[in-house]
Amino acid sequence: MSAQLSVVIIGRNEGQRLETCIRSVQAVHHATEIIYVDSASTDGSAERAMKLGAKVLTVYPEYPAAAIGRNAGWQAAIAPFILFLDGDTILNPDFISVALENLADPQIAVVWGHRREINPQASIYQRVLDLDWVYPPGISTFCGGDALMRRTVLEEVGGYDAQLIAGEEPELCQRMRAKGYIILHIDQAMTLHDLAITRSSQYWKRAVRAGHAYAEISNLLRQRAQNLPPEERKQPILWQRESLKNLLHANFLIDIFSIGILGSVIFTSMMPVIICIIIFIGLSLRSAWKVRWKSNNLLSLFLYGLHSQFQQIPIFIGQLQYHYHHLLGKRRQLIEYK
């Protein structure tokens, strides 16, 4: 296995989480090549990784981005298969062997499994975001940050787009699928993750980053599609539908609550606001019902439904921020929530 696999871990100020991540990889197979790419941490993360025997690379980009670290890692790796991990994750001991079996099919470029939160009960935010990681197994449109990839395909498509500050994995997968490769999500535990979100400001920033990714990726791929001949415009533009849906959804929520507050002021009654809240809860219950397959815990599903509705606002703001910076010809800095 050591000749087949290189593990690339990226991180920035991960501290003890990074040590736990590296040890989880070493516990699976001690001979596996481990490369840690550090984005100019100030907490001694690079030194921690070095002491544990990992090969350490440090990048000092003008605009920090996960894509830059991942590119540096896989380009320095020696194996035909690259396992990408974030420094705040713990690798499941069974994932590598199961994933490599699936990569026996040369058409499969990426294999990824289930990522879940280490401690979803640590905060209400982690409880709902834990369900965000749940995807149905099978052929998928994209993968997350933790994934096992075929090196030859990374070389063929040119790796990650280093200009992106978010959404780099889905954009990479779009280019892979355009060449006929398969992204496979398997029904296998892959990693445990530590979001470490305990404050509303962190939750808000994470959703803003998602909105920025929606807008940037869909806009980038739309521009690329315009330069292709008609016969090559086969794939739908990634996240274009989600981007438009968010714009409509967020504006609906903003409008309905604005009308409710205005109505309460005009009629000196709380009834218009109460009606708006009832509508919001109704929409949340509908969202919870649609994803009932993700959990058998009714409270978690209800909270996830509330999250699905509320997050539309910061996602919308993230989209607006992207378009504002794009209009001014400026590049947005990395949106960090930790």
**How far is the C-alpha of 196 from the C-alpha of 119, rounded, in Å?**
9
**How far is the C-alpha of 102 from the C-alpha of 185, rounded, in Å?**
10
Query: In percent, how much of the chain has pLDDT > 90?
Result: 75
291: exposed, middle or buried (Cβ count in 10 Å: 0-12, 13-18, 19+): middle
**How far is the C-alpha of 63 from the C-alpha of 156, rounded, in Å?**
25
pLDDT value at 318 more than 60 = yes
Architecture of domain 5-198: Alpha-Beta Complex (3.90)
Residue spans per domain, the chain: 5-198, 201-328
Which residue do the tokens 């200009």 mark?
Answer: 163
- Predicted local confidence at residue 1, as pLDDT: 43
Which residue do the tokens 């940037």 mark?
Answer: 216
- Predicted local confidence at residue 163, as pLDDT: 86
**How far is the C-alpha of 160 from the C-alpha of 94, rounded, in Å?**
27
- Predicted local confidence at residue 227, as pLDDT: 67
Each residue of 23-53: pLDDT tens digit? Answer: 999 998 756 799 999 987 888 888 999 999 9
Mean pLDDT (the chain, rounded): 91
Secondary structure class of 105 (helix, strand, coil): coil
pLDDT value at 122 more than 60 = yes
Each residue of 241-262: pLDDT tens digit? Answer: 899 999 999 999 999 999 999 9
Most confident of the ranges 57-61, 164-168, 209-213? 209-213
Centroid of chain to Cα 21? 18
Torsion, Cα 241 246 247 251, to 10 degrees, reads 150
Tell me the average pLDDT across 253-273. 94
Q: Which two tokens stand for residue 57?
A: 């690379």
